[in-house]
Structure formats: C-alpha cells, structure tokens
Amino acid sequence: MISGKIEAALNRQIDLEGYSSMYYLAMGSWAEVKGYKGVAQFLYHHSDEERMHMLKLFRYINDRGGHAIVPPFAAPQKDFKNIREIFDIVHSHEVKVSNEINALVELCIQEKDYTTHNFLQWYVTEQIEEESLAREVIDKLNLIGEDKGGMYLFDRDLATMAGQQGGGGKKGAHGH
C-alpha cells in the first residue's frame, strides 16, 4: 500500500511528465510549421516518450493501491524565437525534471518506501540519458552557429535520431 504522502508526490510527477509531453508537442508543432520536419519528428517522438513516463507512474500508483489523477495541464508556450531557444528550454526542463525525480527519491528514503525508491531508479537513469541527449543537440547547434546549410543537415540528422531513439518510453512501456 502506498502512503498518501508518496501518492501525492507521484501525482505531482504525473503532472510534470504530462506537461513535458504537451510542451514538446507544442515545440514540435512550431518546428513543423517553420519547415523543420526533422526537428518536429524528434520533438513529437520525445513528446510520446514523456507520455509513456506519465503512464508508467499512473500504473504504479494504481497498482500500489493509490489513485493516479489526471491533472489540468497548463497550456504550454506556442511560439519560439528559433530552434536554439527550443533546445535550451528542453535542456533546462529536463534538468528540472531530474531535480524533481531526485526529490522524490529523497522523500522515499525519508518515508522508508523502498519499493517506490526502487521503482524510481528507472527514472533516475532515464533522466541522465535525457539531459545528455539535450546537451548533445545543443553542442551540435553550437557547432552550426548561423550556417543555413548546417541547419539543413541538423534537421535531417534529428529525423534520423528520432528514428533511432528506442530509449526511454519504449523501455518504460515494456518495463511495467
């Protein structure tokens, strides 16, 4: 049985993961409208992954005797300056999610909820990958600078990366 305190904290994490999914969806839509099909594909894939992270939490809470709640998601930003701004936001958002996961792990230790602590280790590992991926994309953008041809290749590369990302969401879907 899950404690009310842990259940409430996990439901807050559901809100953050669900909001992440909507945020990346909004970014993907902006990129698609601006002609960045590869970036859009990458962000849509990322949005799907975040939704899988949210569903994994839903199932865990409910399996442990709690009640997962669908929160009223805040509307995400819909306009962006450029692709660089989007990926700066993605990176800072992933750092925020990592901090929240770490706080959840700390709460589990305080509450002596080792089952949830164990469950959250998947998220700890996942966040390391998410932050690393965001930094990798920013590094590519730094190399390109303002070069239009470089942006064309970057967009194409991101479409390829989206196709190769088997990571997070897929493992999560099968892991529980």
Q: Count CB atoms within 10 A of the CB of residue 1.
A: 7
Phi, psi of 111 (to 5 degrees): -85, 0
Q: Count CB atoms within 10 A of the CB of residue 29.
A: 16
CA geometry: angle 116, 118, 124, nearest 5 deg: 100
165 is in an annotated binding site: no
CA atoms within 13 A on the CB side of 168: 24
DSSP-assigned letter for residue 76 = P
DSSP-assigned letter for residue 15 = H
94 is in an annotated binding site: yes
CA atoms within 13 A on the CB side of 37: 2
- Rounded to a whole number of angstroms, the CA Rg of the chain reads 17
136 is in an annotated binding site: no
50 is in an annotated binding site: yes
Q: Are 94 and 145 in contact (CB under 8 A)?
A: no
Pick out the residues of the known binding site for Fe cation: 17, 50, 53, 94, 127
Q: Binding site, residues?
A: 17, 50, 53, 94, 127
